[in-house]
Amino acid sequence: MNALRVFRYGLLVGARDFLVFWTWKTWLGGWMLRILTSVLVWVLVGRLLNSPSTLNYLLIGNAATAGLGTWAVAAAAWDRYSGTYPLLVIAPANLAWAIMGRMSIWMFGWIVSSLLTFAFLFAIFDLRPHWQAIAALPAMVALLSVSTFFFSAFLGSFANLVPPLRNAIGWALVFGLMTLTGVTVPITFWSTGVQVIASLLPVTHGLQALRLIMSDGPSAQIWSAIGLELLVATSWLILAVMSFNRFAERGRANGSIELV
């Protein structure tokens, strides 16, 4: 219970972070314009290749991951810059929940970005998915966002260790997911070794489930993909909590907590 309370306070700090960057108007006008146009840049590749199936593949992949992975890794390192990191380390509560709470506000942004992108693309490409797909969409997008968030938290612990690299790690996450997890090409495109890595990453299984739902695939496959995505998400959550604490302990041991 205490973990939830700490997480909630972290989330409140995160909400303040969010408001420093955005109001709902600037978020809709600035951020969403960026997301929608970037997604279109990729979806138009389907037109360039003159292949409706590629267009459809890119549309679902890019809309499901629109905005996914942005800001959160950087937010993990902000306690370093605000000088609150040492206080979190000496507090009796687990610092992982506090930092993850602060990061998590951006996850809600991913969910809304993705759902708005789907709505926009369905409208301009005149697509009419069946109602089960539409009903499942919010839950699937939330699943992808949550598992990506747990993976971001794991990466965020490294951003905490080397704060100047926070944005590089964040971008590598975004482009890594875009390349490897079946957003632009099926993971079978890659060699077996890369496919193993992809299957350990968030998004891979969940996006596969979403694609099956959209194409009315067999429900057994859908549920097993969802199960795998949940398994991947939980594993990254455990690793993230361990990793945050390990680095905090390391900082305590070698006296580098106050040094950014």
Question: How is residue 121 written in tokens?
Answer: 């693309």
Residue type, 113: S
User: In the complex with another protein, which residue's Cβ is closer, 167 or 245?
Assistant: 167
**Which residue number, 26 or 132, has a Cβ lying nearer to another protein?**
26
Tokens 């097993």 label which residue?
A: 224
Q: Is 185 in the site for another protein (CB under 8 A)?
A: yes
Distance (Å, whole) CA 130 – CA 135:
9
Helix (H, G, I), strand (E, B) or coil at 22: coil
DSSP annotation of 31 reads I
Nearer to another protein, 9 or 22 (CB): 22
Applying CB under 8 A, among 56, 84, 167, 195 the residue interacting with another protein is: 167
Place of tokens 């314009």: 33
Binding piece for another protein, criterion CB under 8 A, among 25-33, 76-84, 85-93, 249-257: 25-33
Phi, psi values for residue 255, rounded to 5°: 70, 25
Query: Considering only 97-105, 160-168, 213-221, 222-230, which stretch makes contact with another protein by CB under 8 A?
Result: 160-168
Site for another protein in 28-67 (CB under 8 A): 29-31, 33-38, 40-42, 44-45, 47-49, 51, 54, 58
Q: If DSSP codes are grouped into helix, strand and coil, which group holds residue 198?
A: helix
Nearer to another protein by Cβ, of 99 and 177: the residue is 177
When asked if residue 72 is in the footprint of another protein (CB under 8 A), the reply is no
82 is a contact residue toward another protein (CB under 8 A):
no
Q: Is 233 in the site for another protein (CB under 8 A)?
A: no
Which of 76, 5, 1 minimizes the C-alpha distance to 247? 76
Q: Does 134 bind another protein (CB under 8 A)?
A: no
Cα of 67 vs its chain's centroid, Å: 8
Q: What angle do CA 74, 80, 81 make, to 5 degrees?
A: 85
Beta carbon of residue 208, minimum distance to another protein (angstroms, whole number): 16
Per DSSP, the three-state class of 163 is helix
CB 59 to another protein: min, Å:
13
Reduced to 3 DSSP states, what percent helix, strand and coil does the chain have, rounded to the nearest 5? 80, 0, 20
- Token representation of residue 251: 């900082």
At its nearest, how many Å lie between another protein and the CB of residue 25?
8
**Segment holding 197, helix H or strand E:** helix 192-200
Question: Which range binds another protein by CB under 8 A, 4-12, 19-27, 78-86, 202-210?
Answer: 19-27
Residues that bind another protein (CB under 8 A): 21-22, 26, 29-31, 33-38, 40-42, 44-45, 47-49, 51, 54, 58, 164-165, 167-168, 171-172, 175-176, 178-179, 183-186, 189
